[in-house]
Chains A and B, each alone.
Chain A
Amino acid sequence: MNTLFDKIWDSHVVSLIDDGPTQLYIDRLYCHEVTSPQAFEGLRNRGIKCLRPDKVFCMPDHNTPTHDQDKPIEDPISKTQVDTLAANAAEFGLTHYGMFDKNNGIIHVVGPEKGLSLPGMTIVCGDSHTSTHGAMGAVAFGIGTSEVEMVLASQCILQAKPKSMRINIEGSLGRGVTPKDVALYLMSQITTSGATGYFIEYAGSVVREMTMEGRLTLCNLSIEMGARGGFIAPDEITFAYIKGREYAPKGEAWDKAVAYWSTLRSGDDAVFDKELTFNAADINPMITYGTNPGMGMAIDAAIPSLEGMSETASQSFMKSMDYMGFQPGEKLLGKKVDYVFLGACTNGRIEDFRAFASIANGRHKADNIIAWLVPGSWAVDRQIREEGIDKILEEAGFEIRQPGCSACLAMNDDKIPAGKYSVSTSNRNFEGRQGPKSRTLLASPLVAAAAAVTGVITDPRTLL
Chain B
Amino acid sequence: MKAKFDIIQSTCVPLPLENVDTDQIIPARFLKATSRDEKFFGDNLFRDWRFNADNTPKKEFVFNTPAFSAAPSEGVHQILVAGKNFGSGSSREHAAWAIAGYGFRVVISSFFADIHKNNELNNFVLPVVVSEEFLAELFQTIAADPQAQVKVDVPAQTVTNLTTGRSEKFDINGYKKYCLVNALDDIDYLLQQKAEIEKYEASSVRY
With contacts A147-B118, A430-B23 taken as known, whether A34 is within 8 angstroms of B32 at the C-beta atoms is yes
- Give the most central of B31, B92, B115, B194: most A CB within 10 Å: B115
Q: Are A226 and B193 in contact (CB under 8 A)?
A: no
Minimum distance in angstroms from B170 CB to a CB of chain A: 15
With contacts A128-B90, A193-B84, A292-B21 taken as known, whether A154 is within 8 angstroms of B197 at the C-beta atoms is yes
Query: Which residues from A are CB-within-8-Å of B53?
Result: 436
A17→B194 CA distance, assembly (Å) = 15
Chain B 164-182 near chain A by CB (<8 Å), digits 1 or 0? 0000000001111000000
* Of B35, B84, B113, B190, the contact of A23 (CB 8 Å cutoff): B190
B114 part of interface (Cβ distance < 8 Å) = yes
* Of B96, B113, B187, B201, the contact of A46 (CB 8 Å cutoff): B187
Using CB atoms, name the residue of chain B closest to A149: B187
Q: Are B83 and A48 in contact (CB under 8 A)?
A: no
User: Chain B: interface residue count, which band?
Assistant: 35 or more
Using CB atoms, name the residue of chain B closest to A78: B32
Query: Which residues from A are CB-within-8-Å of B92?
Result: 34-35, 144
A63→B115 CA distance, assembly (Å) = 22
A464 part of interface (Cβ distance < 8 Å) = no
With contacts A147-B122, A313-B18 taken as known, whether A126 is within 8 angstroms of B93 at the C-beta atoms is yes
Query: Which residues from B are CB-within-8-Å of A312?
Result: 16-18, 83, 136, 139
A297→B93 CA distance, assembly (Å) = 31
* Of A41, A51, A77, the contact of B32 (CB 8 Å cutoff): A77
Interface segment among A155-163, A333-341, A391-399: the answer is A155-163
Minimum distance in angstroms from A464 CB to a CB of chain B: 32
A27 part of interface (Cβ distance < 8 Å) = yes
A435→B51 CA distance, assembly (Å) = 15
Q: Are A146 and B186 in contact (CB under 8 A)?
A: yes
A14 part of interface (Cβ distance < 8 Å) = yes
With contacts A149-B187, A192-B88 taken as known, whether A156 is within 8 angstroms of B193 at the C-beta atoms is yes
Minimum distance in angstroms from A77 CB to a CB of chain B: 4
Query: Which residues from B are CB-within-8-Å of A159?
Result: 118
With contacts A193-B111, A226-B114, A316-B83 taken as known, whether A430 is within 8 angstroms of B32 at the C-beta atoms is no
A18 part of interface (Cβ distance < 8 Å) = yes
Query: Which residues from B are CB-within-8-Å of A158?
Result: 186, 189-190
Chain A 222-257 near chain B by CB (<8 Å), digits 1 or 0? 011010100000000000000000000000000000
Q: Are A144 and B93 in contact (CB under 8 A)?
A: yes
* Of A23, A130, A146, the contact of B193 (CB 8 Å cutoff): A23
B204 part of interface (Cβ distance < 8 Å) = yes
Minimum distance in angstroms from A189 CB to a CB of chain B: 16
Minimum distance in angstroms from A131 CB to a CB of chain B: 10
A279 part of interface (Cβ distance < 8 Å) = no
* Of A62, A147, A316, the contact of B18 (CB 8 Å cutoff): A316
A370 part of interface (Cβ distance < 8 Å) = no
Minimum distance in angstroms from B136 CB to a CB of chain A: 8
Q: Are B122 and A144 in contact (CB under 8 A)?
A: yes
Using CB atoms, name the residue of chain A closest to B49: A431
Chain B 90-122 near chain A by CB (<8 Å), digits 1 or 0? 111110100000000000000101110011001
Query: Which residues from B are CB-within-8-Å of A156?
Result: 190, 193, 197
Using CB atoms, name the residue of chain A closest to B23: A430
Using CB atoms, name the residue of chain A closest to B116: A144
Q: Are B175 and A20 in contact (CB under 8 A)?
A: yes
Using CB atoms, name the residue of chain A closest to B84: A193
* Of B24, B31, B84, B111, the contact of A431 (CB 8 Å cutoff): B24
Chain B 1-38 near chain A by CB (<8 Å), digits 1 or 0? 00000000000000011110101100111011111100
Using CB atoms, name the residue of chain A closest to B192: A154
* Of B17, B176, B197, the contact of A20 (CB 8 Å cutoff): B176
* Of B16, B85, B186, B206, the contact of A120 (CB 8 Å cutoff): B206
Using CB atoms, name the residue of chain B closest to A118: B207
Minimum distance in angstroms from B116 CB to a CB of chain A: 8
A228→B112 CA distance, assembly (Å) = 12
Using CB atoms, name the residue of chain B closest to A55: B207
B48 part of interface (Cβ distance < 8 Å) = yes
* Of B173, B190, B194, B206, the contact of A160 (CB 8 Å cutoff): B173
A20→B89 CA distance, assembly (Å) = 25
Q: Are A411 and B17 in contact (CB under 8 A)?
A: no
Minimum distance in angstroms from A267 CB to a CB of chain B: 20
Chain B 46-84 near chain A by CB (<8 Å), digits 1 or 0? 001000010000000000000000000000000000011
A218 part of interface (Cβ distance < 8 Å) = no
With contacts A14-B200, A156-B197 taken as known, whether A128 is within 8 angstroms of B115 at the C-beta atoms is yes
Minimum distance in angstroms from B75 CB to a CB of chain A: 27
With contacts A154-B197, A431-B23, A431-B24 taken as known, whether A84 is within 8 angstroms of B34 at the C-beta atoms is yes
Q: Are B174 and A19 in contact (CB under 8 A)?
A: yes
Using CB atoms, name the residue of chain A closest to B179: A20
Using CB atoms, name the residue of chain A closest to B36: A38
A265→B96 CA distance, assembly (Å) = 37
Chain A 195-225 near chain B by CB (<8 Å), digits 1 or 0? 0110000000000000000000000000110
- Give the most central of A27, A128, A431, A436: most B CB within 10 Å: A128
Q: Are B187 and A150 in contact (CB under 8 A)?
A: yes
A80→B201 CA distance, assembly (Å) = 36
A158→B190 CA distance, assembly (Å) = 8
Query: Which residues from A are CB-within-8-Å of B156?
Result: none
A41→B36 CA distance, assembly (Å) = 9
A38→B92 CA distance, assembly (Å) = 12
A145 part of interface (Cβ distance < 8 Å) = yes
Q: Are A192 and B200 in contact (CB under 8 A)?
A: no
* Of B33, B85, B186, B201, the contact of A226 (CB 8 Å cutoff): B85
9 new A-B pairs (CB below 8 Å) besides A37-B33, A153-B187, A292-B19? A15-B193, A20-B173, A27-B205, A38-B35, A84-B34, A118-B207, A128-B89, A155-B201, A428-B89
Residues on A close to B: CB < 8 A? Answer: 11-12, 14-15, 17-21, 23, 25, 27-28, 34-35, 37-38, 41-42, 46, 48, 51, 55, 62-63, 77-78, 80-81, 84, 118, 120-121, 126-128, 130, 142-147, 149-150, 153-156, 158-160, 162, 192-193, 196-197, 223-224, 226, 228, 260, 292, 312-313, 315-316, 319, 409-411, 428, 430-433, 436
